[in-house]
Chains A and B, each alone.
Chain A
Amino acid sequence: MGSYADDSKWADIVPIPQDDGGPNALATIAYPDAYSEATSYLRAIMAKNEFSDRVLELTADIIDMNPAHYTVWLYRAKTLLQLNKDLREELDWVNPIALAHQKNYQIWHHRQLLTDKRNAYDGEREFIGEMLDEDSKNYHVWSYRQWLVRRFDLWDDKEIPFVEEMLKRDIRNNSAWNHRWFTVFGRYRPLTDIKHTEQSKQAASFAPLSQTGRTIESYPDSLIDREVAFAQEAIKLAPQNQSPWNYLSGVLREAGRPLATVKPFVEQFANLDEPEKVRSSHALDFLASIYAGEQPTSGPSSADESQKDVKKACQALDLLAEKYDPIRRFYWGWRKDIITKEARATGTA
């Protein structure tokens, strides 16, 4: 006998058993008896659209056994709203479940819905901190943090110090680097109706995008200088860390500055005159891009041709393929092939 069948509180409910439609159903699961019973009561409850305190208990029980059951979460959310429950209390109830199920999508959907309804974010950044203590790269958590910043307009407040604290803990945390990018550049791309994203079909719309997916913005020089310097300091700390190198080239491209503007810096880590002393494969890659005369942006500004040197670009790519990053030797070889073919076609080689 199951716990619901024995409980007088549920005596009025006739459970609806699961109908799996005859023999040889696919992907049948050996459900625990308690799950089969609870979901049979859920079907009966959904059939009569009941929203009550006992429904909160039932949904909590099912969530405990299957936190990825999206219908249960949606039913619970509706019940909470119908009963005018304290949503902060609900968030406190959700917290340990989120901590126990790091990869779960539905919990974050639920959380976003509740926080949006509450129109308040107290406790949220603290809980995000707790989650990141468990897994500092949890994709759902970082996504939720971005939503929170946009929803409550938190651009100036604590985001940059927060990112810097996360990077102090682990300079290779690419999620934190991405969050820095979002914090610095995201505010220039408002999502016009982000405040209602989960409430209606109306969705985020963006500043018009060019064919390439990017608009060329004009940012204050001081901002770009600051970000370049930040990436460079991180590179000095750990030269073989791909995150700040990607950040550095991303910032330069976003600002329309040629990659060659940081050539002296890059050469501290990879200089073709001293091929034995390369300290970073990413620096070599960067150098190859500079020598290949890569466009600083895919937009209208012209490439910086002054540093273009196909031979040196190939030399850097050879070093990568043969010595400093042989795992990617096919990639480096392919890139070299493209560069040499281009050069032959334009007669620059």
Chain B
Amino acid sequence: MASSTPPTSAPSDRPVLRRDKHVKYWLRCLKTFLPSAYTSMDTNRMTLAFFIVSALDLLSALDSSVSADERSDYIRWIYKCQHPSGGFRGFSGTNLGAATTEENRHWDTASVAATYSALATLIILGDDLKQVRRKETLAWLKRMQRDDGSFGEVMTEGGRIEGGRDSRFCQFAAAIRWVLKGTKSVEDLGVQDINVDATVKYILSSETYDGGISEGPFFEAHAGLTFCSLGALSSLGRLNKLSPAPNASSASQELRAPSSPETLSRWLASRQTQTVEEPDEENTYGDETDSPATCHDRHAFISLPPANLQAIIDPYSKDAHGECNTSTDGTQQRPESLRWAGFNGRANKIADTCYSFWVLGSLGILDGLHVIDREAARNHLLEKTQHLIGGFGKITGDPPDLIHSYLGLAALGVVNTATAAPRDTQPHIYELYEPHVRLLDPTLCISLRAKDHLTSHVWTSW
């Protein structure tokens, strides 16, 4: 095992997260109206609220920029969106108020996605969750599960489950259940639990021939849906992590997934790419013979100088497992050709900021972040999609939007958590991977600080 002390000061060309700009961007989102272009996100306002509040928390800017009165107003708004029969609405637009009757109340629905966003935002704001209709929400969650184990988004007339059939709602549902049951079981609360085995089976049936996870049997593997599936498994306590972490359940008969974390990690590692532009202009209809110019994953044919490559490309590192003779003198720089690499969400697609999180978050949940190039991932976010006015765009040159701006920060936060873990096997390059972002729990997608508030304060008061 190489024993050199990892350098703690970054080289001058290591890019910087422009924290002040990001804080400014998010405060604008918090305290002024979002532009009218967000009208198409109206039904998802609770999720936008989560992004805004959680981003400021990740940037350690929430306490300093929100007054006690504002904080209690925010909390009151969230509870105002709580549905009388359990769960939370995504927005206030379907609340019929005094006009509500038995005959029309099914048009005003709680949403599984919004319910998780609401709970997470309350936790981040330091609320005690005492006003949450815990039992009603858990009972509603049970009703939102389909026989195949998946969950819908909303329930309408006659108890019909509506909304996509995919792992997004599995993840939200599993996280809601985890948050609300606390240290007890759902049955202890006098509520019938969801069918956990069925959800695990649904996810197993969504595994694809190329090693990823999709939205259901036979669909195309997708990094976002892979992340959601792993998040669900993690919250349900049914996750197979990457070795060498021992699978505690090897003796038990519990159904777990993914069926092969090793195969899945290969698919996830394959998502890292330097292809950032649509290949249309160079596509080769009719002439598909590969050359470095025509091939989508042409980065694979980067020409590197022949010498001791391990040393050149990882100047700051001791080897991941200490089994190679790697130079750690730190004098050589990473060649420009390997400086940055982002992530795509599916094979032969281009890199996109949100997939940085879906892939890094997936690997974070699996305990597998040592299999990818973290510095290149960071350089991609900070040099290619970080925007001058703060926030992140989807691809280079795009203006920032809430989703990509949040997931860019979350991607940095999840790698922070992995590098801070004592058992981390990839080199500790610096004291912290991204010093301006709090450590993030990838399963809940909130800071470890917020998670600690839940487990150390909220749960103990129940």
Q: A residues near B, CB below 8 A? A: 16, 18-32, 35, 39, 43-44, 46-49, 65-71, 74-75, 78, 105, 109, 137, 139, 142-143, 146, 169-175, 178, 181-182, 185-186, 189, 191, 197, 200-206, 209, 211-214, 237-243, 246-247, 250-251, 253-254, 279-281, 298, 321-331, 333-335, 337-338, 340
A21-B92, A26-B49, A331-B266 known; A175 and B370 CB under 8 Å? no
B162 at the interface (CB under 8 A from A): yes
Are B205 and A327 neighbours in the complex by a CB distance under 8 Å? no
Are B370 and A330 neighbours in the complex by a CB distance under 8 Å? yes
Are A29 and B99 neighbours in the complex by a CB distance under 8 Å? no
Residue of B nearest to A204 (CB): B148
A68-B41, A324-B300, A326-B313 known; A46 and B346 CB under 8 Å? no
B397 at the interface (CB under 8 A from A): no
Are B147 and A191 neighbours in the complex by a CB distance under 8 Å? no
Residues of B within 8 A of A337 (CB): 320-321, 323
B35 at the interface (CB under 8 A from A): yes
CB distance from B280 to the nearest CB of A (A): 10
Residues of B within 8 A of A240 (CB): 290, 295, 297-298, 300-301
A75-B107, A201-B161, A281-B300 known; A211 and B321 CB under 8 Å? no
Are A178 and B349 neighbours in the complex by a CB distance under 8 Å? no
Residues of A within 8 A of B346 (CB): 137, 174-175
A169-B285, A333-B319 known; A29 and B45 CB under 8 Å? yes
Known: A202-B147, A203-B148. 10 other contacts (CB 8 A): A21-B92, A26-B52, A27-B45, A30-B34, A68-B42, A181-B209, A203-B147, A241-B295, A322-B304, A328-B272
Residue of A nearest to B291 (CB): A240
A19-B92, A30-B34, A329-B373 known; A24 and B348 CB under 8 Å? no
Residue of B nearest to A46 (CB): B107
Contact with A along B56-79 (1 / 0, CB 8 A): 000000000000011001101110
Q: How far, in whole Å, are A65 and B38 apart by their CA atoms in the complex?
A: 10
Are A21 and B348 neighbours in the complex by a CB distance under 8 Å? no
Q: B residues near A, CB below 8 A? A: 29-30, 33-36, 38-46, 48-49, 52-53, 69-70, 73-74, 76-78, 80-81, 92-97, 99-101, 103-104, 107, 109, 121, 146-148, 150, 153-154, 156-157, 159-165, 201, 204-205, 207-211, 214-222, 243, 255, 257, 259-260, 262, 265-266, 269-270, 272-274, 279, 283, 285, 288-290, 294-302, 304, 309-310, 313-314, 319-321, 323-324, 338, 341, 346-349, 370-373, 376, 426
Lowest 6 A-B CB distances belong to which pairs?
A: A250-B209, A213-B204, A24-B73, A26-B49, A21-B80, A246-B210
Residues of B within 8 A of A146 (CB): 218-219
Q: How far, in whole Å, are A280 and B295 apart by their CA atoms in the complex?
A: 11
CB distance from B441 to the nearest CB of A (A): 22
Q: Which of B77, B160, B349 contacts A21 (CB 8 A)?
A: B77
Q: How far, in whole Å, are A253 and B157 apart by their CA atoms in the complex?
A: 45
A203-B147, A327-B341 known; A24 and B70 CB under 8 Å? yes
A67-B40, A238-B290, A326-B309 known; A243 and B147 CB under 8 Å? no
Residues of B within 8 A of A206 (CB): 148, 205, 217
Q: How far, in whole Å, are A162 and B93 apart by their CA atoms in the complex?
A: 43
Q: How far, in whole Å, are A17 and B95 apart by their CA atoms in the complex?
A: 10
Q: Which of A44, A171, A200 contacts B288 (CB 8 A)?
A: A171
CB distance from B312 to the nearest CB of A (A): 10
Q: How far, in whole Å, are A238 and B157 apart by their CA atoms in the complex?
A: 52
Q: Which of B34, B76, B222, B283 contacts A27 (CB 8 A)?
A: B34
Residues of A within 8 A of B208 (CB): 178, 181
Residues of B within 8 A of A333 (CB): 319-321, 324
Residue of A nearest to B309 (CB): A322
Are A241 and B290 neighbours in the complex by a CB distance under 8 Å? yes
Are B349 and A137 neighbours in the complex by a CB distance under 8 Å? yes
Residues of A within 8 A of B298 (CB): 240
Are B371 and A331 neighbours in the complex by a CB distance under 8 Å? yes
A29-B39, A68-B43, A331-B269 known; A197 and B321 CB under 8 Å? no
Are B297 and A43 neighbours in the complex by a CB distance under 8 Å? no
CB distance from A303 to the nearest CB of B (A): 14
14 A-B residue pairs with CB within 8 Å: A16-B97, A26-B30, A26-B53, A47-B99, A71-B107, A75-B107, A178-B214, A181-B218, A240-B290, A246-B209, A326-B313, A328-B269, A333-B319, A337-B321
